[in-house]
Amino acid sequence: MMNYTKSEFYRIFITKEIYTAAGLLAGIALLLNAALYFFGNSYANTSFSYSNLVANPMVFAFMGMIIPFLFYEGGKRNGNLKNTVAGGISRVKIFAGECVVSLAVSTLLMAITMGVWVLSANLLLEKAGPVEWKDFLGEGAAMYLIAAACLISGILFLEIFDKSIIGILVWAALWFLLPEAFMYLAIRFPVLYQPAMWLPNNFLAVNTSHVNTQECITAWETMEGMTRCVLSGLAGCIIFGISGAVLLKRRDL
């Protein structure tokens, strides 16, 4: 597995996709702050800039699917995956290697993007408003394991479904549609409310309306909220990691 993982790191860092992704994500952050500087008027402040991400934490989850799709969907389409399996590497080891590489690359891209965002906001915009850089960076810490769970599940679904579009749709349903449906049931049946509030899409949505130009109340600013973020993300990583090992081992048999 170590040799496969090393080869994947080498493959990714010699191709243009990672540099394109880094440039695009950092460019979007810089462009947002530049647009606020030139055209933002009363919104040309760091708080409004940070709030664009702080008010939408599930963007991290979305990126958790985009990154593995960017790096591995093409390999599945052009036959690289079949060649790797034919070379004697099990699907479980491939899955584990892809998770490790994707998580490492995603962490690097997240650090670059958030770093450029904070730096450019502080250089270009007035430091004012309720949303501070601590809320912004705290979101990255709170969402890290949730994004990792989204990434692992994304890789799993891309592996087990022959058509990538099916894997993407199943992933979206699992992380967004089913939690909302569960929440609707919880409204009618209160006994389901607490279980429903352990699903990231649900408990993060509660605080979305409280991140604005007047206030900043996030789901992760309390110990209870941060614990919920960490534990739900950790549980997702374990569940999808074990599911991947079991399902893909069966495909090898």
Which amino acid is present at 137? L
- Residue 134, CA distances (Å) to 114, 115, 125, 218 in order: 12, 12, 16, 11
Identify any residues that bridge with 126 across adjacent strands, giving them in sequence order.
45
Query: Residue 87 has what pLDDT?
Result: 60
Query: Residue 207 has what pLDDT?
Result: 74
Query: Residue 8 has what pLDDT?
Result: 84
Query: Residue 52 has what pLDDT?
Result: 95
Largest Cα–Cα distance of the chain, in whole Å? Answer: 62
How far apart are the C-alpha atoms of 41 and 44, rounded to whole Å?
A: 6
Q: Is 107 helix (H, G, I), strand (E, B) or coil?
A: helix
Query: Residue 85 has what pLDDT?
Result: 63
Measured distance between the N- and C-terminal CA atoms of the chain, rounded to whole angstroms: 18
Sort 163 into a burial class: Cβ within 10 Å, 0-12 / 13-18 / 19+.
exposed
Residue 78 DSSP class: T
Nearest to 60 by CA among 134, 149, 121: 149
How far apart are the C-alpha atoms of 43 and 126, rounded to whole Å?
A: 9
pLDDT per residue of the chain (253 residues) written in tens, 0 to 9: 677 788 888 888 998 889 999 999 999 999 999 999 999 999 999 999 999 999 999 999 999 889 888 887 766 656 566 666 656 678 888 899 999 999 999 999 999 999 999 999 999 999 999 999 999 999 999 999 999 999 999 999 998 988 889 999 999 999 999 999 999 999 999 999 999 999 999 999 887 778 988 999 999 999 999 999 999 999 999 999 999 999 988 776 5
Q: Would you tell me the crossing angle of helices 133-160 and 46-54 to the nearest 10 degrees? A: 30
Query: Residue 67 has what pLDDT?
Result: 86
Nearest to 213 by CA among 36, 13, 24, 21: 36
Model's pTM, two decimal places? 0.93
